[in-house]
Amino acid sequence: MYYVVTGAAGFIGSNLVKALNERGVTGILAVDDLEQGGKSANLADCKVAESIHKDEFVKKLEAGAYQGSLAAILHQGACSDTTNPDRRYMMENNCRYSERLLDCCAGGKVPFIYASSAAVYGAGREFREAPECEAPLNVYGESKLLFDQRVRQRRKGQTAQVVGLRYFNVYGVRESHKGRMASVACHFFNQYRESGRVRLFTGSGGYGDGEQRRDFVSVEDCVKVNLYFLDHPGKSGIFNTGTGAAQSFNDVAAAAVNACRKARGEAPLTLDAMRGRGIIQYIAFPEDLRGKYQSYTQADISALREAGYDEPFLTVEQGVARYCQKLLQRVPA
C-alpha cells in the first residue's frame, strides 16, 4: 500500500514525507510539479517509492492504475502564492485538481487529508469553521474556500475520510525554496544573519509598528495534526490548524534575533533594547497590500480539540527558536 503526498517537494509536503519516513514508511508516492527543480533538495534526505509529476499522477489515478493500492492521500500541493492574480490558474490548481483527487478517493474509499488555508477568513475577526466567518481577500483564498465548499456539499454521501486543514501562518524547515513567500520567521533570520538588522512593516489596521498579529504555527505542529487524522480514519471535517493564540510580528522578530544571539553566546535582548540599538527597524507599509492584508488572525481550535487532538502547540518563542537552531546547524553561527 502506498501513501501519496502531493506537493511532496514543497514546504509542508516534504516535512510530511520526512515524518512518514521516521515512522518507517517508505512506500510513498511523491507527487509534485517536477518542473520546479529548485525545491528538490527538500527530499534529498527522504525515502520515497516513486516521484511522479502531478498531471501524470492524476491521469493514472483516474484510469484506475492505483486501485486497491493506496492507504491515503495527503494533498498538500497547490499554488500558494497569495499575490497571484491569475484566477483561472489558481482555480485549476487549487480547486479543480483537488476535486479530481477527491472524486477518486471517494470512489475507492481512500482517506483524503488536504491543505486548506486561513486565507478563507479574510479580514474578519472571528476565525471559526463556519460560512458566516468566511470572506477571502484574494484569489488564493477564494480558491481554497471554493474547494472547502465542495467538500461540505458532498458530506452527506461521504463514506471515506475527508479532512481539510486550514493552516494559519506556518513556518519551519524546508521552506527556503519559497523565496519571498517564505515565512516572516525565515526572512527575519536571514535579514539578521546578513545585516544585523530586521525590517518589519509600520502599523496598519489599527495596530502599531510591528504589532500586527497572526497565529504563527510551526510546521512541526502541522505535521502532527496531519498524522493524528491519518491515525484516526473515522474522523472527518474541516479544522483550523493554528495555535489558538495570536502573536505579533515583533514577537517573531525578537525570537529570531535572540536565537541567533544565543548561538553566539550573547545575552538575550528585550524588544525595546532591539529597537534602541536599531536591530529592529520599520519600513513603510506597502500600498499594494492595503485592503488585502490580514492584520489579525487567531485560530479557533475548538473543533480540532473536540475531534480529539489534545497536543500542545509551540509558542512563537519556542517554535522560532527551534527553527533557527535547525537553520544554524547548516549555517555557521
Question: Quick check: is 3 catalytic?
Answer: no
Q: Tell me, what's the pLDDT at 141?
A: 93
Indicate if 132 and 259 belong to the same structural domain. Answer: no
pTM: 0.95
Indicate if 157 and 41 belong to the same structural domain. Answer: yes
Residue partners of 228: CB distance under 8 A and separation at least 6: 308, 309, 311
- 254-263 pLDDT per residue, tens: 999 999 999 9
Q: Where are the beta strands (DSSP E) in 9-133?
A: 28-32, 50-53, 70-75, 112-117
Q: Tell me, what's the pLDDT at 333?
A: 41
What does the radius of gyration of the chain's CA atoms come to, in whole angstroms?
20
Q: Determine which one of 18, 47, 178, 262 is catalytic.
A: 178
Residue 133 lies inside a defined structural domain of this protein: yes
How many domains does one find in the chain?
2
Indicate if 94 and 56 belong to the same structural domain. Answer: yes
pLDDT above 60: residue 279? yes
Q: Tell me, what's the pLDDT at 195?
A: 97
Q: Tell me, what's the pLDDT at 21?
A: 98
Which domain range does residue 154 map to?
2-171+217-244+298-306
Helices in 138-231 by DSSP H: which ranges?
A: 139-153, 184-195, 219-231
- 132-147 pLDDT per residue, tens: 999 998 999 999 999 9
Indicate if 184 and 105 belong to the same structural domain. Answer: no
- Of 44-53, 154-163, 184-193, where does mean pLDDT reach its minimum? 154-163
Q: DSSP assignment of 206-259, as one string? A: TB-TT--EE-EEEHHHHHHHHHHHHH-TT--EEEEES-S--EEHHHHHHHHHHH
Residue 61 lies inside a defined structural domain of this protein: yes
Question: What letter represents residue 246's amino acid?
Answer: A
Indicate if 8 and 47 belong to the same structural domain. Answer: yes
Sign of the four-CA dihedral 224, 125, 119, 307: positive
Distance, in Å, from the CA atom of 128 to the CA atom of 267, rounded to the nearest integer, reads 40
Q: Are 298 and 213 in contact (CB under 8 A)?
A: yes
Ramachandran class of 179: left when φ > 0, alpha when ψ lies in -120 to 50, beta otherwise: left
Which CATH number characterizes residue 253's domain? 3.90.25
151-158: which pairs have CB atoms within 8 A and are 24 or more residues apart? 151/102, 151/238, 152/238, 154/102, 154/106, 155/236, 158/106, 158/236
The whole-number average pLDDT for the span 297-323 is 98
Q: Where are the beta strands (DSSP E) in 37-101?
A: 50-53, 70-75
Indicate if 94 and 130 belong to the same structural domain. Answer: yes
pLDDT above 80: residue 35? no
- 222-248 pLDDT per residue, tens: 999 999 999 999 999 999 999 999 999
pLDDT above 50: residue 123? yes
- 80-102 pLDDT per residue, tens: 777 788 888 889 989 999 999 99
* % of the chain residues with pLDDT over 70: 98
Question: Measuring CA to CA, which residue among 144, 173, 147, 151 is closest to residue 16?
Answer: 173
The whole-number average pLDDT for the span 108-135 is 95
CA-to-CA dists, residue 111 to 205, 277, 300, angstroms? 40, 52, 25
- Kind of pairing, strands 112-117 and 70-75? parallel
CA-to-CA dists, residue 181 to 149, 201, 332, angstroms? 26, 16, 24
Residue 311 lies inside a defined structural domain of this protein: no
Q: What is the mean pLDDT of the chain?
A: 94
Q: What's 295's DSSP letter?
A: S
Residue 333 lies inside a defined structural domain of this protein: no
Indicate if 39 and 66 belong to the same structural domain. Answer: yes
Residue partners of 310: CB distance under 8 A and separation at least 6: none
Residue 150 lies inside a defined structural domain of this protein: yes
Question: Quick check: is 192 catalytic?
Answer: no
Distance, in Å, from the CA atom of 121 to the CA atom of 166, rounded to the nearest integer, reads 10
Q: Tell me, what's the pLDDT at 40?
A: 80
Residue 290 lies inside a defined structural domain of this protein: yes
Indicate if 186 and 127 belong to the same structural domain. Answer: no
Residue 332 lies inside a defined structural domain of this protein: no
Indicate if 182 and 302 belong to the same structural domain. Answer: no
Q: Determine which one of 3, 140, 171, 309 is catalytic.
A: 140
Which CATH number characterizes residue 65's domain? 3.40.50.720
- 155-176 pLDDT per residue, tens: 887 889 999 999 999 999 999 9
Question: Measuring CA to CA, which residue among 21, 314, 326, 17 is closest to residue 170?
Answer: 314
Indicate if 146 and 33 belong to the same structural domain. Answer: yes
Residue 275 lies inside a defined structural domain of this protein: yes
pLDDT above 90: residue 307? yes
Q: Given pLDDT bands bounded at 50, 70 and 90, which one contains residue 331?
A: low
Indicate if 40 and 82 belong to the same structural domain. Answer: yes
Measured distance between the N- and C-terminal CA atoms of the chain, rounded to whole angstroms: 43
Indicate if 78 and 227 belong to the same structural domain. Answer: yes
